[in-house]
């Protein structure tokens, strides 16, 4: 099972998605702010690309 997690940076407001095996925190790829929690997650179908 994998999840597409949707993130919004609390520091710079950048938005991004990433596919993980869990609904976990991620670091902002724009400003480097750490430990942003996803505001939404979806199941990813097997073989589906990001």
Question: CA 18, CA 25: separation in Å to the nearest integer?
Answer: 10
3-state secondary structure of 33: coil
Residues 25-42 pLDDT 10s: 999 999 999 999 999 999
Model's pTM, two decimal places? 0.85
Boundaries of every domain in the chain? 2-44
pLDDT at 33: 98
Q: In whole angstroms, what separates CA 31 from the centre of its chain?
A: 15
Contact indicator for 50, 19 with CB cutoff of 8 Å: yes
pLDDT at 1: 87
Contact indicator for 4, 41 with CB cutoff of 8 Å: yes
């Amino acid at each position: 099972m994998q999840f597409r997690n949707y993130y919004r940076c609390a520091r710079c407001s950048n938005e991004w998605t990433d596919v993980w095996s869990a609904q976990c925190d991620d670091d902002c790829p724009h400003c480097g702010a750490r430990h942003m929690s996803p505001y939404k997650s979806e199941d990813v179908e097997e073989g589906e690309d990001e």
